[in-house]
Amino acid sequence: MEGNFWSLAPWGRGLGEGYFQYSDMNLHIAAQINSFLAALVLLTAFGMLVQKRVYGLIHLFAWQGVFLSLNTAIVGFVAGKHHLYISSVLTLSLKVVLLPYILHVLINRLRIRKEVETIVNIPMTMMIGIALVIFSYHLTAPVRELSNLVTRSTLAVALAVVMIGLLMMITRKHAVTQIIGFLALENGLFFAATSATYGMPLVVELGVALDVLIAAFIFGIFFFHIHTTFDTLDVDQMARLKEGD
Amino acid sequence: MLLILLGVPLGAAATLAFVGDRKFAPEINILGSAATFMAGIGLAVEVYMQGPMLAGGKFFFVDAFNVYLSVLTAFVSMTTAIFSRRYMRREREHGRVGHVGMRFYHAMFQLFIFAMLLCLLTNNVGILWISMELATLSTVLLVSLYRTPTAIEAAWKYFILCGVGIAQALFGTVLLYFAAEKVLGEGGDALLWTNLSRVSGSLEPTVLSLAFVFLMVGYGTKVGLVPLHNWLPDAHSEGPTPISAVLSGLLLNIALYALVRCKVLVDGATQTHHAGNIMMGFGLLSIIVAAFSLLRQKDIKRMFSYSSIEHMGIATFAFGLGGPIATFGALLHMLVHSLAKSAIFFTVGHASQMHRTQDMDRIKGLFRGSPLVGWGLMLGVMAIVGMPPFGIFTSEFLILTATMKDAPYLTPFLLLGLGVAFAALIRRVQSMTAGEVPPYQKPLKVAHLPVVLHLTLVLALGFYMPDFLNTWFHTAVELLK
């Protein structure tokens, strides 16, 4: 059974295999919704990879947060894990409202150019992104086989989002874009936690949220420092520290 | 006692944020760190008498492995606070730090110590990650304290690279929880290290080996292992010197501690030497690359940052090698390196303030200009390159012996790394200490106590190993087997 093509598909196992404990129908729908939202999260990640405008990027990031928060709430509902509601609300307030707001304010305040450029050209970046998704599926295959959660197949998507966030940080040279890449990466990690294990323990979730919040303030301060020192947020300007020969 | 140990730095951070740039702020800083150190000693005595213990509803956990690191952390932060009193005042006079900067510096220094102690003492692998991230975040803005273009660049690099790196460790932690949940059930208990190590044999090996790759990359970035080390020389050389001393002397140790804790779990599950091999590879690469990078440095703090990478490589390699002798050596190495490296950074701070530069070509005549600083630097370097009778000689000797026994084909590489580092450092320190006093050198009143204290301890550990340390190391070796 394992290893064939259908086991890769989100609905591939589940059906008639006796994994479902109570209402098969409900869980089946939940799994479908979960996969659908996972697809949307991945889509927004790809969208960010090619989006050139700073504002567009922030909106995409906010949308990703919406999908993530929705997904967390649904998983919490289906699995009966009420602490996931708290994570869901936390995600909504932090990643959909607060962080995009902070970024908006910073961009207005610093009068950043509306366009951002990519280093590698867009088709190439997309191809690398696709390769990363396939790689993620390959890497998480052993984990998926072990899990019997509704959400197991989205772990690969979560890892893919992490890697795409990483790719974004590498290919962009603007400080704001790098930060959004970093936050998207963080989204992927959060998604991984909900999909692999129905969320980390609440203490850990809260701690991570706190760290993200502190990080947000730090990069806010940083934007000002970089802007006043280098007169631009283009991180290519920062190349003074090199190995002296 | 444990809660006092954590509470003091947190309270001191809040107080110092409130006190700000008053005249007595550095004294409060010293007082807070001294109280932390006292609490650390108290905790150590308790652990020595009663053995490992849990506290705060299993939330905190002290055993032979983390107790000595906690005391070390508290000790070095105390001496750093003493050193930084005069140093930072002078930087303020030179106009490199402003009013806000000083308030920020003191508060963040204490917060950083709190984060490191939390990292060491927590029993929860998730909290371990969170406090590691907190330690990074609290130092990012300290690295950019001087607001020069290079300082901001270094801090940005530090922020981004460590952020990304440590994110990988979180993914590894998620996978670890995923495996643990099957055995221990859901909830916070499944992330407690004491529970995990109890059941590590029944954790899913495939998941854990995958998790270890992510944990290795994540925490390895913070340890500064090659090729994940890019941020380290910049961050350690551009910040204020007291911060360089704690970053090099303490934070790298903490990251390595986190990595080793995770390795124990992975080894228990896989029953192979898989994780150890990965660590040996990273460690050896770090030793060699760092040793050759040492040769071409011009900036004094950058050079010693590379030396930190080299020594962390040695400890990582030894932990990877495993076995009682190598592990004992690695534990000792973490201790003596931390003491010697922070002592070196203290003298480097003095030397560069005397010359108003970090360029090694312009630092000269320390023996004549300021004998104590000169000899401090000379002896510190002798210690760090592993000359007998200093403690680092003992630890490196143990590690070399174990390598010859368990992996003889790797000995030449290890020796090559050590030899190159030796040559590079000795050559540089000679040109800085000997010779005539240059006209731009200004003698300064400095705090000699921290340097003398550290070097004496390193020297003493080369001759004699106190009983309690011996017991702890042996217990820790058993634990990490």
Q: Flag if A203 and B126 touch (Cβ within 8 Å).
A: yes
Question: What pLDDT score was predicted for residue B99?
Answer: 84
Two tokens, residue B364: 């000269």
Q: A230: which chain B residues are within 8 Å (Cβ-Cβ)?
A: 149, 152
B204 close to A (CB below 8 A): yes
| Alpha carbons B336 and B383: distance in angstroms, whole number | 9
Q: Which residues pair with B299 in a beta bridge?
A: B359
Question: What pLDDT score was predicted for residue A84?
Answer: 86
Nearest chain B residue (CA) to A199: B174
CA distances from A82 to A28, A73, A199, B129, B381 (A): 20, 9, 11, 24, 57
Domain boundaries, chain A: 20-237
> How many CB contacts within 8 angstroms connect chain A with chain B?
132
B358 close to A (CB below 8 A): no
- Tell me what the mean pLDDT of segment A30-56 comes to: 88
CA distances from B61 to A50, B48, B413 (A): 47, 14, 38
Which residues are within 8 A (CB) of B34 and not within 5 positions of it... i.e. 6 or more apart?
Answer: B78, B81
Task: Flag whether pLDDT at A122 surpasses 90.
Answer: no
Task: Flag whether pLDDT at A177 surpasses 90.
Answer: no
Nearest to B152 by CA among A58, A219, A6, A64: A219
Residue A23: which pLDDT band, with cuts at 50, 70 and 90? low
Question: What pLDDT score was predicted for residue A101?
Answer: 92
A211 close to B (CB below 8 A): yes
Task: Flag whether pLDDT at A11 surpasses 50.
Answer: no
Other Cβ atoms closer than 10 A to B188: 18
C-beta of residue B73 within 8 angstroms of C-beta of residue B29: no
A245 close to B (CB below 8 A): yes
Nearest chain A residue (CA) to B175: A196
Task: Flag whether pLDDT at A228 surpasses 80.
Answer: yes
Residue A18: which pLDDT band, with cuts at 50, 70 and 90? very low
Tell me which range, A49-58, A71-80, A162-171, B304-313, is most confidently predicted by mean pLDDT: B304-313
Question: What pLDDT score was predicted for residue A1?
Answer: 33
Burial class (CB in 10 A: 0-12, 13-18, 19+), B192: buried
Residues B390, B393, B403, CA angle at the centre, nearest 5°?
165
Burial class (CB in 10 A: 0-12, 13-18, 19+), B138: buried
| Alpha carbons B14 and B406: distance in angstroms, whole number | 50
A184 close to B (CB below 8 A): no
Other Cβ atoms closer than 10 A to B180: 27
Give tens-digit pLDDT for B392-427: 999 999 999 999 999 999 999 999 999 999 999 999
* Residue B192, φ and ψ in degrees, nearest 5: -75, 130
Burial class (CB in 10 A: 0-12, 13-18, 19+), B227: exposed
Q: How large is the ipTM?
A: 0.85
**Which of A142, A215, A241 is the closest to B154 by Cβ?**
A241
Interface of B with A in 217-256 (CB under 8 A): 234, 238
| Alpha carbons B364 and B343: distance in angstroms, whole number | 19
User: What is the widest separation between alpha-carbon atoms in chain B?
Assistant: 70
Tell me: cis bond preceding B324? Omega within 30 of 0 counts: no
**A82 against B324, higher pLDDT:** B324
C-beta of residue A162 within 8 angstroms of C-beta of residue B167: yes
Q: B234: which chain A residues are within 8 Å (Cβ-Cβ)?
A: 241
Interface of B with A in 22-51 (CB under 8 A): none
Residue whose tokens read 């989100």: A10
| Alpha carbons A106 and A179: distance in angstroms, whole number | 12
Question: What pLDDT score was predicted for residue A9?
Answer: 42
Strand runs labelled E in B124-260: none
Task: Flag whether pLDDT at A17 surpasses 70.
Answer: no
Q: Flag if B191 and A162 touch (Cβ within 8 Å).
A: no
Q: Flag if A207 and B167 touch (Cβ within 8 Å).
A: no
Question: What pLDDT score was predicted for residue A15?
Answer: 40
| Alpha carbons B107 and B92: distance in angstroms, whole number | 16
Q: Flag if A241 and B170 touch (Cβ within 8 Å).
A: no
Two tokens, residue B397: 């000797």
Q: Flag if B130 and A211 touch (Cβ within 8 Å).
A: yes
Question: What pLDDT score was predicted for residue B436?
Answer: 86
Q: Which residues pair with B54 in a beta bridge?
A: B61
Express the helix, strand and coil content of chain B in percent, nearest 5 each. Answer: 80, 0, 15
Q: Which residues pair with A118 in a beta bridge?
A: A172
Question: What pLDDT score was predicted for residue A119?
Answer: 61
| Alpha carbons B411 and B398: distance in angstroms, whole number | 12
CA distances from A4 to A13, A63, A141, A144, B189 (A): 11, 34, 11, 13, 36
Ranges of chain B whose pLDDT falls below 70: none
Burial class (CB in 10 A: 0-12, 13-18, 19+), B467: exposed
B186 close to A (CB below 8 A): yes
Two tokens, residue B329: 């050596």
| Alpha carbons A53 and A113: distance in angstroms, whole number | 9
Which residues are within 8 A (CB) of B63 and not within 5 positions of it... i.e. 6 or more apart?
Answer: B47, B52, B475, B476, B479
| Alpha carbons B229 and B224: distance in angstroms, whole number | 4
Q: Flag if A222 and B156 touch (Cβ within 8 Å).
A: yes
- Tell me what the mean pLDDT of segment A228-243 comes to: 75
| Alpha carbons B120 and B128: distance in angstroms, whole number | 8
C-beta of residue B451 within 8 angstroms of C-beta of residue B349: no
Q: How, if at all, do strands B53-55 and B60-62 pair?
A: antiparallel
Nearest chain B residue (CA) to A179: B160
Question: What pLDDT score was predicted for residue A133?
Answer: 93
Question: What pLDDT score was predicted for residue A16?
Answer: 39
Q: A245: which chain B residues are within 8 Å (Cβ-Cβ)?
A: 296
Give tens-digit pLDDT for A193-220: 888 777 788 888 888 888 888 888 888 8
**The CA-based dihedral angle spanning residues B81, B86, B88, B93, taken in that order and rounded to the nearest 10 degrees:** 170
Question: What pLDDT score was predicted for residue B411?
Answer: 94
| Alpha carbons B112 and B246: distance in angstroms, whole number | 9
CA B157, B163, B169, B175 dihedral sign is negative
C-beta of residue B306 within 8 angstroms of C-beta of residue B231: no
Question: What pLDDT score was predicted for residue A6?
Answer: 38
Question: What pLDDT score was predicted for residue B403?
Answer: 94
Nearest to B179 by CA among B57, B270, B259, B255: B270
Task: Flag whether pLDDT at A8 surpasses 50.
Answer: no
Residue whose tokens read 């705060």: B56
Give tens-digit pLDDT for A140-172: 887 777 776 666 678 889 999 999 999 988 888
| Alpha carbons B62 and B389: distance in angstroms, whole number | 32
